[in-house]
Chain A
Amino acid sequence: DAMVIQNPRYQVTQFGKPVTLSCSQTLNHNVMYWYQQKSSQAPKLLFHYYDKDFNNEADTPDNFQSRRPNTSFCFLDIRSPGLGDAAMYLCATSRDLGVGEETQYFGPGTRLLVL
């Protein structure tokens, strides 16, 4: 089945230790997103890729970086995780239809714990 896969499902890291979260998709969608979701809050868009074009949200901290080496894979790098970065990180994809009706397909998320 076509899907969005995130690994690992749970990630524990130490304060200040770089961590990378992975996302892959078999949907061949050209748009990929990373969201941060804290407990009982709405998903907050960090950035997205439109094909290879990177689009950063204005309020995304510099501590968060992303790479998209090919259509299928996208990575979220947190250079120096702080306690406030503990959250669920959601990867999503969509196919740009050019008609403003794109829906997003989400992965199961990676829950990050910072010790």
Chain B
Amino acid sequence: SQQGEEDPQALSIQEGENATMNCSYKTSINNLQWYRQNSGRGLVHLILIRSNEREKHSGRLRVTLDTSKKSSSLLITASRAADTASYFCATDRGTGNQFYFGTGTSLTVIP
């Protein structure tokens, strides 16, 4: 399978703590994206990091990319109950408009 693997599969933290989730993938990429999915809903794009970038920030989100290890991490700082969702990484297939989604991390933030 070309899908990425994410760990942990599930993560439960207290509000205010930081949450870190990791994504590993198998093939060379042009970019890696992170998406969020609230229960029973569609996915929402969070952030894109290019293969020549090592770190990117967007608000409370920090994404890192290590192409030598074929891995990425998503850090959510100062988590809130509203951050409770599943988070998926997605890697391009080199064609620009097709993606492989990782297996996802289910995050629960306890108020």
Residues of A near any B CB (own CB < 8 A)? 4, 6, 31, 40-45, 48, 50, 55, 88, 90, 92, 94, 96-109, 111
Contacts and interface: CB of A to CB of B under 8 A. Distances in A.
18 contacts: A31-B97, A40-B106, A42-B101, A42-B103, A43-B43, A45-B99, A50-B97, A55-B98, A88-B40, A90-B42, A92-B43, A98-B96, A103-B48, A104-B90, A106-B43, A106-B44, A108-B42, A109-B41
Given A94-B97, A101-B31, A109-B42, A43 B48 contact: no
Contacts of A99: 96
Contacts of B33: 103
B42 A103 contact: no
B45 A104 contact: yes
Given A100-B31, A109-B40, 6 more contacts: A42-B103, A43-B43, A48-B97, A99-B96, A101-B30, A102-B97
A100 B96 contact: yes
Interface residues of B, number: 26
Nearest to B86: A40
Contacts of A4: 42
B3 interface: yes
B43 A101 contact: no
A104 B99 contact: yes
B96 A41 contact: no
Contact of B30 (A48, A50, A100, A107): A100
